[in-house]
Amino acid sequence: MTTAFDTTAQAPQYAARPAETNGFSIASLVLGLVSILAGFTFFLPVAGVVLGILALRREPASRTMAIWGIVLNSIMLAGAVIGALFMLVVGAAFLPFAFLGLDGIPLGDALPFVGTQLSLF
């Protein structure tokens, strides 16, 4: 007795799933950590927030890293803005005293005495 087997039948072929990338979320998280270590910068946190938002939309598997990247970069961006505003306020507060000499005489008023000998008696 012979059995007929179909030797041409193959196992079903499935399309390979594209590998999920999480480059945006990793980049956002790394930029957040670097901006903490590199001091108060402005451009690194902005790029990190943008990459984190893109990662939330494009990479659902790496949502946690994207959220942490957004949080770290937002905190550092807020710190940079607050620091810049503080420096502007301090600079504006000391601006009236910028043109005084060390002895309290305005610099323009001290010019007639340059090169002359002053005697007290």
pLDDT tens-digit series, residues 39-67: 667 889 999 999 999 999 998 888 999 99
- Residues ≥6 apart with Cβ < 8 Å to 74: 45, 49
pLDDT band for position 31 (cuts 50, 70, 90): very high
Q: Is the predicted pLDDT of residue 99 greater than 90, yes or no?
A: no
Q: Is the predicted pLDDT of residue 36 greater than 90, yes or no?
A: no
Distance CA 23, CA 27 (A): 6
Distance CA 76, CA 1 (A): 80
pLDDT for the residue 42: 84
- 49 is written with which tokens? 């927030």
Looking up tokens 């002895």, which residue turns up?
A: 103
Report the predicted TM-score, pTM, of the whole model to 2 decimal places: 0.64
CB 44 within 8 A of CB 75: no
CB 38 within 8 A of CB 44: yes
CB 78 within 8 A of CB 49: no
- Looking at the DSSP bridge assignments, the partners of residue 100 are 106
